[in-house]
Amino acid sequence: MTLWPSLSGLPTQRTMRDMLYAAAGDIAAQTNNKIQFFVDTVGVGSSGLVQNLRYNCYLRTPATSYSHLLFQVTTPVASPWVASIGTPEGEQFTDIDSETKLTQVIGEILQRERTKEILAYLLTIAS
Protein backbone atom coordinates (compact mmCIF):
# COMPACT_ATOMS: atom_id res chain seq x y z
CA MET A 1 0.00 0.00 0.00
CA THR A 2 1.29 3.45 -0.88
CA LEU A 3 0.76 6.65 1.03
CA TRP A 4 1.07 8.71 -2.17
CA PRO A 5 -2.04 10.12 -3.83
CA SER A 6 -3.27 8.55 -7.04
CA LEU A 7 -1.10 9.96 -9.81
CA SER A 8 -3.62 9.18 -12.53
CA GLY A 9 -6.04 11.78 -11.18
CA LEU A 10 -3.56 14.65 -10.99
CA PRO A 11 -4.08 17.47 -13.48
CA THR A 12 -1.37 18.01 -16.07
CA GLN A 13 -0.37 21.47 -17.17
CA ARG A 14 2.26 22.88 -19.47
CA THR A 15 5.36 23.72 -17.48
CA MET A 16 7.82 26.56 -18.00
CA ARG A 17 10.38 23.94 -19.02
CA ASP A 18 7.98 22.66 -21.70
CA MET A 19 7.44 26.21 -22.97
CA LEU A 20 11.18 26.95 -23.10
CA TYR A 21 11.96 23.82 -25.10
CA ALA A 22 9.04 24.55 -27.44
CA ALA A 23 10.34 28.08 -28.05
CA ALA A 24 14.07 27.38 -28.47
CA GLY A 25 14.66 23.63 -28.53
CA ASP A 26 14.74 23.26 -32.30
CA ILE A 27 18.36 24.48 -32.57
CA ALA A 28 19.57 20.86 -32.49
CA ALA A 29 17.56 20.02 -35.62
CA GLN A 30 18.86 23.15 -37.37
CA THR A 31 22.52 22.39 -36.57
CA ASN A 32 22.49 18.61 -37.08
CA ASN A 33 22.83 18.25 -33.29
CA LYS A 34 26.07 20.26 -33.17
CA ILE A 35 24.36 22.73 -30.83
CA GLN A 36 21.69 21.80 -28.29
CA PHE A 37 19.40 23.89 -26.10
CA PHE A 38 19.50 22.83 -22.47
CA VAL A 39 17.55 24.01 -19.41
CA ASP A 40 18.83 23.62 -15.85
CA THR A 41 16.33 24.49 -13.11
CA VAL A 42 17.32 25.67 -9.63
CA GLY A 43 15.40 27.01 -6.66
CA VAL A 44 16.43 30.47 -5.45
CA GLY A 45 15.61 32.48 -2.38
CA SER A 46 17.07 33.99 0.75
CA SER A 47 18.07 32.02 3.86
CA GLY A 48 17.44 28.67 2.21
CA LEU A 49 13.77 29.45 1.56
CA VAL A 50 13.01 28.71 -2.10
CA GLN A 51 10.72 31.47 -3.35
CA ASN A 52 11.47 31.40 -7.07
CA LEU A 53 12.63 29.00 -9.72
CA ARG A 54 15.39 30.00 -12.09
CA TYR A 55 15.60 28.29 -15.44
CA ASN A 56 19.14 28.65 -16.74
CA CYS A 57 18.95 28.27 -20.51
CA TYR A 58 22.15 27.18 -22.20
CA LEU A 59 23.43 26.42 -25.64
CA ARG A 60 25.82 23.49 -25.52
CA THR A 61 28.06 21.67 -27.92
CA PRO A 62 28.02 17.93 -27.19
CA ALA A 63 31.28 17.35 -29.09
CA THR A 64 33.24 19.59 -26.72
CA SER A 65 30.98 19.55 -23.62
CA TYR A 66 30.98 23.37 -23.71
CA SER A 67 27.94 25.22 -22.39
CA HIS A 68 27.11 28.89 -22.88
CA LEU A 69 24.48 30.62 -20.74
CA LEU A 70 22.08 32.29 -23.17
CA PHE A 71 19.39 33.60 -20.80
CA GLN A 72 17.69 32.95 -17.46
CA VAL A 73 13.99 32.85 -16.71
CA THR A 74 12.81 33.46 -13.14
CA THR A 75 9.31 32.54 -11.97
CA PRO A 76 7.50 32.14 -8.67
CA VAL A 77 7.64 28.58 -7.31
CA ALA A 78 3.91 27.98 -7.54
CA SER A 79 3.27 29.29 -11.06
CA PRO A 80 5.09 30.13 -14.30
CA TRP A 81 3.71 33.68 -14.13
CA VAL A 82 4.71 36.42 -13.68
CA ALA A 83 8.12 35.62 -15.17
CA SER A 84 11.19 37.70 -15.91
CA ILE A 85 14.08 37.03 -18.28
CA GLY A 86 17.65 38.26 -18.03
CA THR A 87 20.68 37.78 -20.25
CA PRO A 88 24.33 37.64 -19.18
CA GLU A 89 24.80 40.89 -21.13
CA GLY A 90 22.41 42.68 -18.77
CA GLU A 91 19.19 42.80 -20.78
CA GLN A 92 16.08 42.52 -18.59
CA PHE A 93 12.53 41.63 -19.63
CA THR A 94 9.89 41.75 -16.90
CA ASP A 95 6.15 41.31 -16.43
CA ILE A 96 5.90 38.27 -18.71
CA ASP A 97 2.44 36.90 -17.92
CA SER A 98 1.67 34.48 -20.77
CA GLU A 99 3.26 31.96 -23.08
CA THR A 100 2.66 34.37 -25.97
CA LYS A 101 4.73 37.09 -24.29
CA LEU A 102 7.37 34.54 -23.26
CA THR A 103 7.74 33.33 -26.85
CA GLN A 104 7.93 36.91 -28.12
CA VAL A 105 10.74 37.83 -25.70
CA ILE A 106 12.69 34.64 -26.42
CA GLY A 107 12.34 35.41 -30.14
CA GLU A 108 13.88 38.85 -29.54
CA ILE A 109 16.80 37.26 -27.67
CA LEU A 110 17.36 34.62 -30.35
CA GLN A 111 17.33 37.20 -33.17
CA ARG A 112 19.76 39.68 -31.59
CA GLU A 113 23.27 40.16 -32.97
CA ARG A 114 24.92 38.79 -29.81
CA THR A 115 23.10 35.48 -30.20
CA LYS A 116 24.24 35.26 -33.83
CA GLU A 117 27.85 35.80 -32.64
CA ILE A 118 27.45 33.07 -30.01
CA LEU A 119 26.02 30.63 -32.57
CA ALA A 120 28.85 31.34 -35.01
CA TYR A 121 31.41 30.68 -32.27
CA LEU A 122 29.70 27.48 -31.12
CA LEU A 123 29.54 26.15 -34.66
CA THR A 124 33.33 26.65 -35.03
CA ILE A 125 34.10 24.69 -31.85
CA ALA A 126 31.43 22.02 -32.40
CA SER A 127 33.25 20.23 -35.20
Complete DSSP assignment for 44-69: E-GGG---EEEEEEEEEETTTTEEEE
Dump pLDDT digits (tens) for 17-63.
Answer: 999 999 999 999 999 999 999 999 999 887 778 899 999 999 999 99
Cα distances (Å, whole numbers) of residue 89 to 5, 61, 86, 92, 93: 44, 21, 8, 9, 12
Dump pLDDT digits (tens) for 85-111.
Answer: 999 999 999 999 999 999 999 999 999
* pTM beyond 0.75, yes or no: yes
How many alpha carbons fall within 13 Å on the CB side of residue 97? 1
